[in-house]
Structure 1
Amino acid sequence: MDRPAASDWTLPLSRRAMTILVTILAAMGAVSTSIYVPSLPDLAPALNTDPALVQVTMTAFLMGFAIMQLVYGPLSDVKGRRLALLIGLSVFVVGNLICATASSIEQLILGRVVQALGACVGPVVSRAVVRDAFGIAGAATVMASVAAGISLAPAIGPTLGGILHTAFGWQANFALLTLLGTGLLYTIWRYLPETNQQKGVHVFNLGVMRSSYRALLGNRVFMTYNLAISLGFAAMFAYITGSPFLFIQHFHLSPAEFGLLTMFNAVGFMSGSLIARRKAEVWSNIRLAQLGTMISVLGGGWLLAQAVTEILTVPGVISGIFTFLLGLGILIPAAFAGSIAAAPHLAGAGSGLVGFCQMGASAVLSYLVAHVNRADQVPLMTIIAVAALISLFAALALGREEAPVPVPKSGA
């Protein structure tokens, strides 16, 4: 379906309002992940628990988010986008209420899991809504705006979270997310009709899903791209998990000051994405992925060198993570495009599997960071540097040219 003409637009929301809505939905995961990060060091004494368990709240969120990557897409195909969004947002609100009223670390971990099970609906289903509402031609323009919003979320989240924490305490972050979820729930219920005109045509078939995932797991090009993306993404979350303790406890910054520093992270990632966008027409996905991973290795190596030689400084860490995220911004769009191009007949399943692996790997590295010695920064920087290096090896293993991958037989 082509982009609907102005006279064909029948949705209650205007095009601009719809673009804003899907952008907020797509950014739900990033904001939910990052907004409470400045509060992590203070949660241990507030809940009378160990800092390692506080960091497990990040791991729990990522695991819940990873699992639901594989659920909401097929659910929205079969039962519709509107129902999937209403279910997910209701769960999201409940999860945030549990977090905001938690009086123990166990309750907070439970709340973070429930929050993740709901938050995942935003980024997964919003992409499908864009395709339904704007058509093939219009979707590309809208997704560019959505991508910009997602890139800003990791900076806006910690900045806003640090201010709220300083002014009102850590519970304020989850109270704000509760209001956000409630507002989105009302907006979807009141103004968004079903956009999936093929609802009910698809059948939720576990056999077909199993066959699709088996084909993807056996696709060397797809899985190599997937490995590069997942480890680069996981290294970023290792940093996100460990950085508040580094800046707030080691460098003695306030939560608000730490939140403001995360803006450099967003600038680095957005700069890399801009480079990838400009070079995409003349460079292959493989070449861009290799460039991105090389730059990330330089950033990870610089962070590790500072930790080993005990010369860590705030500017040094910021410059290292800026370089790492510059490379990651180049890698992710190129590797994602390359992975889907390797199996275009399984684009939906491929997108879900990439998302699952990204979040699953992030949960593993986040858990490792939660159990290292926070007084010694070498383990954290080693995790980041090694993950970046393996991501580089994966990109180099792709070779030089894009190779078409044959469509597997229907009986595979």
Structure 2
Amino acid sequence: MPDAEAARPSLVLLSLASSLSPFGMIVVVPTLAAMAAAFGIDNGEAQYLIAAYLFGLGVGQPLAGALSDRIGRRPVMLAGFALFTLASLGCLFSPTYPALVLMRILQALGASVGTVGSRAIVRDTHDALGAVRALAWIGAAMGVAPVVGPAVGGLLGASAGPTSVFGASAVLGFVVTIALGMHLPETRGTGATTRRQTTSWLVSYRELLGSRVFMGYTLMYAFTQGCFFAFLAVGAIVFQEHLGLGQQQFGLIWSSMGLVYIAGATMGARLSSGISVSKALRWAALGAAAAGIALALAASALGVSLAGLMLPLAGLMLTAGITTPLSTAGTVNHRPDIAGTASGLSSSLALVTSGSFSIIAGQLYDGSFAPVAWMIAASATLSACAWWMTRGQPVG
């Protein structure tokens, strides 16, 4: 596809754009207790800063995807990151907590264009197998955000106050907006991905929701993420109550898991060239189910130990690094003519599904980690079952 190759933006640029969304969410986590003190609220209310961001992503992703199919990738990406930058400044200077929560929603609405737009652009400018490889490398780069975000948030929060993390987000948003303005071409309509302009959003959504293959890839992604949403809901408490480790130690250990994810995503990029993508997804899904069951058995039979937690979690994180980019590539490769809509709808459905695991895990935890561990095992097993829905449909 020579025209697509001519319009192909740098994967480094797309990786940076994709990483801003998870960075914007996780950079605030180390500052939540200080944020509660600064605004005179309790720690439970401070969690709304995370919930508001997730809500904004859930609303913004399908909207960004559908708009990018209608009016183009470039204007949607530029408008989204400009909104993220302005909303980050709004967070920085919010005089009240309700205003801060509102700005967090707007911040997430802007950031929602990053992953959705990047996946659509990759599909616009690559063939099916090339999209798999490109998204795997972008997935590896996105794994840096959970490693760097908590460190940046903790450092800034301690030295300049909790709201200073929003200043860092604003600076990064401005840099990304300028970089996109200078180097991002319009890719919609290049190569083989010409949009059917007469197709309405509702028709596209109905077609996607009725597709076994699209839903299979989406559910693989959702249940894979559900494992980690469930653990993060109680992880810091489990480390403190069962292992005697504080939030700082938990943050450092969890950051190391980000490195395992990067290794998995890198492995996925290489596997997509060596074996069929369908086989790579199958073995990754089965490996995740095995790791999830091992976690549940260890928690039930032996109680909570550092090795009993970290070894299965490392297995889950490694397989997630393989599954996440390959399954998201499957959603856009299945319908390249509406790649933006497919990317946005898939991301939103996965976020809602995986986010519900966080809520349920919080309700299940009563001092014993075993019920949450079995929930994680169930989520990993459901991801393996979802692979069956994609059988016979290679990603690339």
Relative to the length of structure 1, the TM-score reads 0.79
Which amino acid is 2:202 matched to?
A: R
After superposition, the C-alpha distances for 1:2-28 in whole angstroms (9 at most, x for unaligned) are: 2789xx79x9xxx8xx55433211111
| Residue 353, structure 1, aligned to residue 345, structure 2 | yes
| Residue 181, structure 1, aligned to residue 164, structure 2 | no
Gaps of 5+ in 2: none
SS in 1 for 2:52: helix
Which amino acid is 1:195 matched to?
A: E
**Equivalent position to 1:228, from 194, 208, 220:** 220
Q: Which shows bigger deviation, 362-371 or 66-75?
A: 362-371
Q: 1:144 to 1:274 in 2, by over 3 A?
A: closer
The match for 2:2 is 2
**Is contact 1:160-1:259 (8 Å) kept?**
no
The match for 1:402 is 392
**Is contact 1:64-1:114 (8 Å) kept?**
yes
The match for 2:382 is 390
CA shift, 1:353, in A, is 2.3
The match for 1:290 is 282
- Give the distance between the partners of 1:307 and 1:138, measured in 2 at CA: 41
The match for 2:311 is 319
CA shift, 1:347, in A, is 4.0
**Equivalent position to 1:368, from 356, 360, 363:** 360
Q: Which shows bigger deviation, 103-112 or 264-273?
A: 103-112
The match for 1:36 is 28
**Equivalent position to 1:100, from 92, 108, 114:** 92
CA shift, 1:53, in A, is 3.5
Q: 1:256 to 1:163 in 2, by over 3 A?
A: farther
The match for 1:195 is 186
| Residue 150, structure 1, aligned to residue 142, structure 2 | yes
Q: 1:23 to 1:251 in 2, by over 3 A?
A: same
Q: 1:128 to 1:340 in 2, by over 3 A?
A: closer
| Residue 242, structure 1, aligned to residue 268, structure 2 | no
Which amino acid is 1:164 matched to?
A: L
Which amino acid is 1:233 matched to?
A: Q
Q: 1:251 to 1:167 in 2, by over 3 A?
A: farther
Which amino acid is 1:68 matched to?
A: G
CA shift, 1:67, in A, is 2.2
| Residue 265, structure 1, aligned to residue 257, structure 2 | yes
Q: How does 1:209-224 map to 2 (within 5 A)?
A: 209-224=201-216
- Give the distance between the partners of 2:84 and 2:380, measured in 1 at CA: 32
Which amino acid is 1:386 matched to?
A: A
**Equivalent position to 1:125, from 104, 117, 120:** 117
SS in 2 for 1:280: helix
CA shift, 1:181, in A, is 1.5
After superposition, the C-alpha distances for 1:199-225 in whole angstroms (9 at most, x for unaligned) are: 9x96876x5322222122222233223
**Is contact 1:291-1:331 (8 Å) kept?**
no
Q: How does 1:26-175 map to 2 (within 5 A)?
A: 26-102=18-94, 105-128=97-120, 145-175=137-167
- Give the distance between the partners of 1:4 and 1:342, measured in 2 at CA: 18
- Give the distance between the partners of 2:234 and 2:133, measured in 1 at CA: 36
After superposition, the C-alpha distances for 1:355-395 in whole angstroms (9 at most, x for unaligned) are: 12111213322333455557443454343222112222323
Which amino acid is 2:174 matched to?
A: T
- Give the distance between the partners of 1:315 and 1:41, measured in 2 at CA: 28
- Give the distance between the partners of 1:302 and 1:174, measured in 2 at CA: 39
Q: 1:361 to 1:3 in 2, by over 3 A?
A: same
Which amino acid is 2:373 matched to?
A: M
- Give the distance between the partners of 2:211 and 2:234, measured in 1 at CA: 34
**Is contact 2:80-2:113 (8 Å) kept?**
yes
SS in 2 for 1:312: coil
**Is contact 2:217-2:331 (8 Å) kept?**
yes
Relative to the length of structure 2, the TM-score reads 0.81
Q: 1:231 to 1:216 in 2, by over 3 A?
A: same
**Equivalent position to 2:266, from 274, 284, 292:** 274
CA shift, 1:172, in A, is 2.5
Q: 1:79 to 1:104 in 2, by over 3 A?
A: same
Which amino acid is 2:77 matched to?
A: L
- Give the distance between the partners of 1:383 and 1:65, measured in 2 at CA: 24
Q: 1:299 to 1:46 in 2, by over 3 A?
A: farther
Q: RCO higher in 1 or 2 (8 Å CA, sep ≥ 6)? A: 2
Q: 1:393 to 1:144 in 2, by over 3 A?
A: closer
- Percent of matched pairs sharing the same residue: 27
- Give the distance between the partners of 2:78 and 2:314, measured in 1 at CA: 37
Q: 1:31 to 1:90 in 2, by over 3 A?
A: same
CA shift, 1:350, in A, is 2.6
The match for 1:408 is none
SS in 2 for 1:195: coil
Q: How many residues were matched structurally?
A: 391
CA shift, 1:404, in A, is 8.5
CA shift, 1:241, in A, is 3.9
